[in-house]
Structure 1
Amino acid sequence: MSDIDDQIVEEFRANAGRVGGQLAGMPVLLLHHRGRKSGIERVTPMVYLPSDDENVVFVMASNWGAPENAGWYYNITTAGKAEIESGTETYPVTVRELKGEERDRVWATVVQRYPVFRDYEKKTAGIRTIPVVELTRA
Structure 2
Amino acid sequence: MSFDTRNGTRGARQPRAGRLMRWMNTMAAKRIRRKGGRFMGFNALILTTIGARSGTERTNPVGYFPAGDEDGWLIVASAAGAPKNPAWYYNIAAHPDKVQIELAGRTIPVSAEQLHGPEREQAWRQITTAAPRFAQYQVKTDRELPIIRLTSRPG
Query: Normalising to structure 1: TM-score of the pair?
Result: 0.91
Unaligned runs of 5+ in 1: none
1:27-84 C-alpha deviation (Å, 9 max, x unpaired) = 1000000101011111100001112210111110001111010110111122112000
Instruction: Provide the C-alpha distance between the structure 1 equivalents of 2:81 and 2:38, rounded to a whole number of angstroms.
Output: 23
* Structure 1 moving runs of 4+ over 4 Å: none
| Contact 1:48/1:57 (8 A) holds in 2 | yes
Shift of 1:17: 2.7
Match of 2:69 among 29, 38, 53: 53
Percent of aligned pairs sharing the same letter: 35
Match of residue 26 from structure 2: 6
Match of residue 151 from structure 2: 136
Instruction: Provide the C-alpha distance between the structure 1 equivalents of 2:91 and 2:83, rounded to a whole number of angstroms.
Output: 18
| Contact 2:67/2:149 (8 A) holds in 1 | no
Q: Which has the higher contact order (CA 8 A, sep 6+)?
A: 2
RMSD, aligned α-carbons:
1.1
Instruction: Provide the C-alpha distance between the structure 2 equivalents of 1:78 and 1:38, rounded to a whole number of angstroms.
Output: 11
Aligned-partner SS, 1:27: strand
Unaligned runs of 5+ in 2: 1-20
Q: Tell me how many residue pairs correspond in the alignment.
A: 132
Aligned-partner SS, 1:104: helix
